[in-house]
């Protein structure tokens, strides 16, 4: 067994796993609640060499810190129809509202052919509404987004910024509303096209992705409904996500019969 691999563990009360990330698992508690918890337990039975143990401990520490930050953010945001509901704490993690559709990406990979452009634009508008609310609360979000069982978009407590969502800047640790809106532009591009901006590139091509965004060497947007909104996100035109909401509504009105 590779000591750098992580294997599922089972906190008290969980039923079945529904998602896994770099640092966390998500598992159902009941029909309306999931537990988000670190990818490894507080104490392990197996013994590892010191170097491996330091690595595994650092992964757990990052996961625990991430949950602490997410809880703080969700408590600041409070209840809102575009924000995932925090239900409380569990000794091993956070109790969150269960959204069985999962992420928009996962939903679209299974349902893209039957999802209309108007529906996609509405989802983008709902995500922009959530982002505008988060910014009103003086919180930054990065690129987390989920699909509620009612068919509407809600945002979670934030996520680590991915390469495709990263606005080119000298200090990659610097974030503000415009870097958030830039990330939203990439999310919107995926919602509208079913693919990431540069499908021929991978996360290993980080420097090339950043160069293309910096040169504004974007994928074709001119013929895409909502393409102007994506461009405005990527070029820093918007300083408020509510402006994207308004422009997306214009596209929805244009396409409705």
Question: What mean pLDDT is predicted for residues 248-252?
Answer: 98
Question: 53-99: per-residue pLDDT in tens?
Answer: 888 889 999 999 999 989 999 999 999 999 999 999 999 999 999 98
Rounded CA-CA distance 229/195 in Å is 17
Listed residue (198, 220, 195, 194) closest to 207, CA to CA: 198
Rounded CA-CA distance 184/241 in Å is 9
Owner of token pair 């461009």:
231
Domain boundaries, the chain: 17-97, 104-255
For 146, the enclosing helix (H) or strand (E) is strand 146-147
Q: What is the pLDDT of residue 22?
A: 82
**Which pLDDT band holds residue 146 (cuts at 50, 70, 90)?**
low
Question: 149-184: per-residue pLDDT in tens?
Answer: 666 766 765 555 566 777 877 677 778 899 999 999
**Which pLDDT band holds residue 133 (cuts at 50, 70, 90)?**
very high
CA quadruple 129, 134, 136, 142: dihedral positive or negative? Answer: negative
- Looking at domain 104-255, does it have CATH number 3.40.50.980? no
């Amino acid at each position: 067994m590779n000591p750098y691999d992580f294997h599922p563990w089972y906190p008290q009360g969980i039923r079945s796993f529904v998602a896994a990330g770099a640092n966390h698992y998500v598992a159902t508690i009941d029909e309306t609640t999931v537990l988000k918890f670190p990818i490894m337990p507080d104490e392990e039975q197996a013994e590892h060499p010191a170097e491996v143990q330091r690595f595994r401990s650092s992964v757990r520490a990052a996961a625990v810190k991430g949950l602490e930050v997410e809880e703080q953010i969700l408590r600041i945001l409070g209840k809102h129809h575009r924000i995932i509901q925090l239900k409380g704490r569990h000794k091993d993690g956070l109790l969150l509202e269960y959204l069985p559709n999962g992420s928009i990406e996962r939903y679209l990979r299974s349902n893209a052919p039957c999802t209309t452009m108007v529906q996609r634009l509405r989802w983008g508008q709902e995500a922009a509404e959530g982002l505008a609310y988060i910014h009103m609360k003086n919180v930054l979000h990065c690129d987390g987004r989920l699909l509620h069982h009612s068919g509407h978009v809600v945002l979670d407590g934030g996520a680590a910024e991915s390469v495709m969502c990263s606005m080119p800047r000298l200090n990659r640790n610097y974030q503000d509303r415009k870097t958030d809106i830039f990330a939203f532009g990439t999310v919107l591009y995926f919602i509208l096209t079913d693919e990431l901006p540069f499908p021929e590139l991978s996360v290993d091509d980080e420097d090339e992705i950043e160069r293309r965004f910096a040169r504004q060497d974007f994928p074709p947007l001119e013929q895409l409904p909502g393409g102007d909104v994506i461009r405005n996100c990527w070029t820093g035109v918007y300083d408020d996500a509510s402006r994207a909401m308004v422009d997306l509504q214009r596209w929805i009105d244009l396409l409705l019969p």
